[in-house]
Amino acid sequence: MSTAVDLEIGGMTCASCANRVERKLNKIDGVTASVNYATEKAHVDAPGVDVATLIAAVESAGYTAALPTPPVGSPADDAAPGDPELRALRQRLIISASLAVPVALLSMIPALQFTNWQWLALTLAAPVAVWGAWPFHRAAAVNARHGAATMDTLISVGVTAAFAWSLYTLFFGMAGIPGMQMTVTLFGTPGEASGEIYLEVAAAVTVFILGGRYLEARAKAQSGAALRALLELGAKDAVVLRSGTEVRVPVDTLVPGDRIVVRPGEKIASDGLVLEGASAVDASMLTGESVPVEVGPGDRVVGATLSVGGRLVIEVTRVGADTELARLGRLVEEAQTGKAAVQRLADRVSAVFVPVVFGLALLAFAGWLLSGASVELAFTAAVATLIIACPCALGLATPTALMVGTGRGAQLGILIRGPQVLEPTRRIDTIVLDKTGTVTTGRMRVVAATPIGSTAAGELLRLAAGVESGSEHPVAQAILEHAQAERVVAPSPERFVAHAGFGVEAVIDGHAVVAGRASWLAEAWSLDVPAEAVAAASEAEASGRTAIVVAWDGEVRGVLSVGDTVKPSSAQAIARFRELGLRPVLLTGDNAGAAHAVAAAVGIDEVHAGVTPQGKLDVIRALIADGRTVAMVGDGVNDAAALAAADLGIAMGGGTDAAIAASDVTVVSGDLLVVADAIRLARRTLGTIKGNLFWAFAYNVAAIPIAMLGLLNPLIAGAAMAFSSVFVVTNSLRLRRFRPA
C-alpha cells in the first residue's frame, strides 16, 4: 500500500491533459494528486491505495502511467542527447515542412499552376494531413472519448475538414478538371466552393503547430537538468581505510561505518563525522557563504563539500538517498511540481471555442437548408466555417514571441527557459534575494586595515601578507590579493606553522610574526590585545566579517577585516525593484550581523538570516502562503530548492549549475540591475504572447460570418491565416526593440 508515490505520465499533449489526469486521480477516495505537465510526472499522496489502482485510473483517462525507472549509469548518461520522442517529432516536422512548402506555393501563386497541378498538391499534402497531423488526430480521439475539447481537437477538425473537402471537390466537384486554377478574390460566390481546394490550409496548419510542439518538447527535455546538476556535484570515488591501507573505491559502495581519507582539494565523499585531523571546509554548496568552516575531531561534515585545509579522517554516517545532497535533490524535485504554463490560456479558450464553432457550423448547415438552398451549398457553408475557424497563427503565437524575446534577452545576458515561466511575472510583488554572490560579490576581500599605535599601514600589510603566504586558507588568499593590489611585496616566511582554526605563525625578516583570532593571541601567546584592536575586531565581527589580529615581536600591531563586499550596482538594483512594484527581501545562511549590515547598505528592510536550504524553502513557501507572488534570486546549490519553489526563479550566471538548472531565468552577467531588466523583458514577452493569442483567434472569428454566408473563397481562408501569421510575427519582432532601463 502506498502513502506517497511518483508516477511517470505518458500521452499528455497540453496542460488540460494534466488537469484531466489530476482530476481523475483526485476522484479516488483519500487521494491527493498534483500533475506536472512540464516534467510529465504525477505526485500522489494515496494512503491505503495501491499503485495498480492509481495506474488504472490514469489509463482510464486515456493516458499511460508507470513508476519511475531507476537511473542506469552515470548522471551524465541521463543528460545525453537523442531523446527518441524529440527526435521523432523533429523528423515529423522536417518531412511535413518539406512537403507543405510546395503545396502552399502552388496554391497561392497562379503562375505556378500548371495543368493538373492540383493532383501534385494532393500527393504532397496527403502525407502531411494524415501522417504529419497524426498526433493531433490521436489526441482529438482521446478527447472525444472523454467528452473534452482542446487545441488538438480544433487542429484535427480543421485539418480533417480542409483535407476531406479537398478530396470531395477533386473527385466529385469541379476542382479535379484539367486546367483548374485558384485565383485571388476577396469574396467567393455561394455554391462555387465545389470548385475550390483547401490543401494548403491542411498542410500549413499542421506544420505551424508541429513547429510549436517541437519547441515545447525541447524545453520539456531539460526538465531534469536541475537534478542531474545536483547529482554531479558529489564525489565519484573515495579513499577508504581498510586494515591501515588506503583503498580507492566508488562512492556508491560506501556503507555507514567506513572510514574515508580526505586530503586538501578533495571533495568529501559522503556525510560523516571527523575522527582525525583539522581543515577548513568549503561548505558554500550548502550555506552559500564564501567563508569556509573550520572542522576538527567530533565535527560533522556533509558530502560534496570541499576540504581546503589539512588531511581528514572521516567516519561515514549516511550514504545514498540519506545524504544531505540527495535530500536537497528531493527538495528541488518537490518544489518543481505544479508550475503553471502559459499554453493553458490557449487550452481554456479552445475548450469554449471548439464547441461554439461546431454549433455555428451546424447552424449554417441548417440555416441554408431551411432557406431552400441545396444540400451542397449548405454543406459548403458548414465545412467552410470549420475550416476558417482553425487559427493556424496560434501555433506561432507563443514560440515566435518566445524566440524573439529570448533572443533579445540573450543579447542582454538574460536566458528565459520557456513560456511557462512568463505567466507569473506580471503578478510578482515580492523579490527574495540571496546575499552571497547575488547582492554581494561572494569573494573574500580585505575590507579594512587598522594599524595600532605607530605601526605603518604598509608595514602591517607587508608582514601580514608574508605570514599568510604559507597558508591555503581563503582568508589568507584575500590578504595576499589585497597586498598585490596595493603593490606590497610579501616577504618569504621562515619556520611557518599553521594552527587550524586559530591562526598562523612564522619568522619574517627576523621578526616572530603571528596572525589569527584575538582570543588565540591572548591565550596561546600571552599577548596583551589593546582596546583599539579589540574594538576593531568586534566591529568587524558584528558586520559578519573575519577579524585577523596581527602581532610581531610580542606586540599587537594591527587588525585586518576580511569579508564579502556589496556589489557596486546592488543598491541601484534594489531601487529599480521598488520602481517595478516589488518588495525586496534578503535571505541568507550568514549570521544576522552580516545580513543586516548588507541590507542596510543596499536599502532592504526585511531580512531572514541564518537559514538552511530547507529554511530558505520554508521562507519562500511561507511568503506564498501569505498571498504574495514571489521571485527568488540566488546563485548557490543551497538556493536550488527555493528557486524551484518560487513563482519565478532567477539564477545568477556565475553561480552553480544546480541553481541555474532549477531556475526559470538566468542572468549571465551576475549583475542585479540585469535582474530588473529580466523581469521587464519577461513581462513584455508575456504581453506579446497574450496579444498574439488574441489576434490569432480574432482574425478567424471575424471571418466566420463570411463562411456561414457561403461566401468563402479558399484563398480568403489562406489569406486570413497568412495575415494573422504575419501579424503574430511582426508583433513578436517588436521585442527586438527592448532596451535596458
Residues recognised as catalytic: 434
Residues 6+ apart with CB under 8 A from 207: 93, 96, 97, 100, 128, 132
Put the strands of the sheet holding 64-66 in their side by side order: 32-36, 41-49, 2-10, 64-66
Residues 6+ apart with CB under 8 A from 371: none
The angle, 0 to 180 degrees and rounded to 10, between the axes of the packed helices 394-411 and 343-370 is 160
Residues 6+ apart with CB under 8 A from 690: 345
Half-sphere exposure of 75 (CA within 13 A, CB side): 15
C-alpha distances in angstroms, 553 versus 463, 508, 509, 510, 527? Answer: 12, 11, 11, 9, 10
Helix (H, G, I), strand (E, B) or coil at 561: strand
**Other Cβ atoms closer than 10 A to 8:** 14
Task: Give the Cα separation of 85 and 392 in Å (integer).
Answer: 24
Task: Give the Cα separation of 9 and 206 in Å (integer).
Answer: 25
Per DSSP, the residues of 406-452 read HHHHHHTTEEE--GGGTGGGGG--EEEEEIIIIIB--S-EEEEEEE-
> Smallest Cα–Cα separation from 183: which of 272, 231, 242, 113?
113
Max CA pair span of the chain: 117
Task: Give the Cα separation of 244 and 640 in Å (integer).
Answer: 39
Task: Give the Cα separation of 643 and 640 in Å (integer).
Answer: 5
Helix (H, G, I), strand (E, B) or coil at 135: helix
Burial pattern 196-214, b for ≥16 Cβ within 10 A else e, equals bbbbbbbbbbbbbbbbbbb
